[in-house]
Amino acid sequence: MAYVTSKKMLLDAQAGHYAVGAFNAENMEMVKAIIRAAEELHAPVMIQTTGGTLKYGTPETYAAIVKSEAERASVPVCLHLDHGPSYETAVRCIVAGYSSVMMDGSKLPFEDNIKVSKQVADLAAAVGIPCEAELGKVGGKEDDTVSDGKDIYTDPQEAKEFAERTGISSLAVGIGTSHGFYKGIPVLDVNRLSEIRAVVEVPLVLHGASGLTDDQVRECVKRGICKVNFATELRNAYSRAVADYFKKDPDVVDPKKYGEAAMEAVKALVKARMKVCGCDGKA
């Protein structure tokens, strides 16, 4: 259909009481698998790259891959910078052609987070691109950064002030989720999420959803989440599929063969998560 920004996607999700699935991709195969899943379910989709992924490739490379695939897709596709570590990274992604960016200043003091998030939001708005930011912390590990586990929950009144002063398009909140797989059963503060939703007008984002149960994701969407991020479980599905292929055919030398197997595994997982988010049929 088109290579688009995330603005209409998330506003439509907010109005329709569902969430857009946002899936992290590491290579061309994962991009193709995510878009195939979206087409089969007729769902809008966001593809994301983290700062760590951009050390592996480049913004220019990922923008070229996603744009090329999106031009042939039958659904709207957005490319988003996930957990942007700096203003400079956001600038580079915007110049490369990303259609959505995030500035993650959540580890900074409140006023410093506002300052850098507003800088990125103002730049993004000037070129017609939405900006996500984060207040509170998501635990666990995101690429090379480990949370200290302190002060991780988002305060509703601070969230209201933060969104109004920065002019961001969407807000990622901390309610007890964690990056990576969970070692135990996560306990989410869903009542806090409802309190945040009541005072914050922009769409809300849930990070660290890999490993959450379907019912937990649905409850968060019910309480106002409009975008749900999935990363670790996609990497796991891709890697396990490649490992399984080599067990069946240890002499394989054609990367396309195990690449196809990995794409099928990622596609199946993405479809399942889209259905949980409720974005299937919403393109």
Q: Residue 1's pLDDT is what?
A: 65
Dihedral Cα 203, 54, 274, 186, nearest 10 deg: -80
Query: Is 112 labeled as catalytic in the residue annotation?
Result: no
In a domain, 120, yes or no: yes
Structure letter (DSSP) for residue 141: E
Q: What is the pLDDT of residues 60-114, one digit of tens each?
A: 999 999 999 999 999 999 999 999 999 999 999 999 999 999 999 999 999 999 9
- Assess contact for 231 and 50: CB atoms under 8 A: yes
User: CA triplet 44, 50, 55: central angle to 5 degrees?
Assistant: 135
DSSP 8-state assignment for residue 250: T
Render the burial of 71-106: b for 16+ CB within 10 Å, e for the rest.
eebebbbbbbbbbbbebebbbbbbebbbbbbbbbbb
Ranges of residues in the chain whose predicted pLDDT is under 50? 140, 142-150, 182
Q: For the domain that residue 111 is a member of, what is the CATH number? A: 3.20.20.70
Q: Would the annotation count 83 as a binding residue?
A: yes
Whole domain around residue 219: which residue ranges? 2-277
Determine, yes or no, domain membership for 189: yes
> Does 121 appear as a known binding residue?
no
In a domain, 283, yes or no: no
Nearest one of 225, 208, 217 to 171, comparing CA atoms: 225
How many separate domains does the chain show? Answer: 1
Query: Which residue is catalytic, options 82, 214, 251, 280?
Result: 82
Query: Which helix (H) or strand (E) element contains residue 278?
Result: none
What is the structure's pLDDT at 185? Answer: 61
Structural domain includes residue 265: yes
Reduced to 3 states (helix: H, G, I; strand: E, B; else coil), residue 18 is: coil
To the question of whether residue 17 is assigned a binding role by annotation, the answer is: no
Contact 49, 65 (CB under 8 A): no
- In tens, the pLDDT along 181-208 reads 545 567 789 999 999 999 999 999 999 8
Predicted local distance difference test score (pLDDT) of residue 209: 84
Residue 211 belongs to a domain = yes
- Residue 146 has a pLDDT of 38
- Cα–Cα separations (whole angstroms), residue 79 to 98, 142, 189: 5, 19, 29
Q: Contact 136/178 with Cβ under 8 angstroms?
A: no
Q: Say how far apart CA 9 and CA 207 lie, in whole Å.
A: 17
Q: Would the annotation count 232 as a binding residue? A: yes
Look at residues 22, 3, 19 and name the one whose alpha carbon lies nearest to residue 11: 19
Nearest to 140 by CA among 109, 183, 172: 183
Asked if the structure places residue 119 within a domain, the reply is yes
